[in-house]
Amino acid sequence: MPNLVNRLVLKELQNELGTCDGMVIASFAGLSVKESEGLRNELSKKGCGLTMVRNSLARRVLAERGFELADGILAGNTAIAFGNAEAVIHASKAFQSAEVKKAGKVKIRAGALEGKLLSAADAQALSKVPDRKTLNSQLLGLFQGPSRSIAALVHAVPGGAARVLKARADQLEQAGGGAS
């Protein structure tokens, strides 16, 4: 019977991790059921799955995808957050959030994004990547900047000339000569 259960769990892991764009591998030492469910719900809102895995099965599925992990990565209680690239970035942010860090029960061990294995530091650095909406806004601002500068420069030339003429007219008016 255990072999059947292992085969079913392995098949499910292959389906989940075989098609995802990325994943974050983390340790989940001492996390209560309530904390685990809260984290799982937060991740699922952003399209990210979270699964607790047996290390031997995870090692096998990841090896099939071409990821050879160091010995310490898959040890103890292991969870894998998986999904598209945006979801994996959100998972890294959730694992690095203040309340999760304060509890000290979740530690990022490694990650993978778009076929590349990430170290723990690289997987943690994903939390600093802005989300898609922020990135789009930043790009839009970048594209608008030069056209805004050109418009300001084009407007500055006649505006400057008008201010010089107005200042000269005021000067003549004060001198008594009058511009009229």
pLDDT score for 139: 85
Same structural domain, 118 and 178? no
pLDDT score for 1: 43
Domain, as residue range, for 154 = 130-180
pLDDT at 58 over 50: yes
CA–centroid distance for 153 within its chain? 37
Q: Compute the average pLDDT of residues 176-180.
A: 58
Same structural domain, 135 and 124? no
Query: What element of type H or E holds 79?
Result: strand 78-83
d(CA 84, CA 102): 27
Do residues 148 and 155 touch, judged by C-beta distance below 8 A?
A: no
Instruction: Name the average pLDDT for the chain.
Output: 81
Same structural domain, 149 and 124? no
In CATH, what number is assigned to the domain containing residue 84? 3.30.70.1730
Same structural domain, 122 and 147? no
Same structural domain, 99 and 137? no
**Domains contained in the chain, number:** 2
Q: What percent of the chain has pLDDT over 90?
A: 0
Same structural domain, 33 and 76? yes
Same structural domain, 68 and 146? no
Same structural domain, 163 and 80? no
pLDDT score for 35: 80
Angle subtended by helix axes 2-18 and 55-64, to nearest 10: 50
d(CA 145, CA 65): 43
pLDDT score for 99: 73
Same structural domain, 43 and 109? yes
Same structural domain, 119 and 159? no
pLDDT score for 2: 64
Rounded to two decimals, what is the model's pTM? 0.68
Confidence band, pLDDT 50/70/90 cuts, at residue 142: confident
Amino acid at 176: G
Q: What percent of the chain has pLDDT over 70?
A: 96
Same structural domain, 72 and 155? no
Look at 137 and 2; give whichever has higher pLDDT.
137
CA distances to 17, 83, 88, 126, 160 from 156, rounded to whole Å, are 58, 51, 47, 43, 6
Same structural domain, 108 and 20? yes
Look at 74 and 31; give whichever has higher pLDDT.
74
pLDDT at 119 over 60: yes
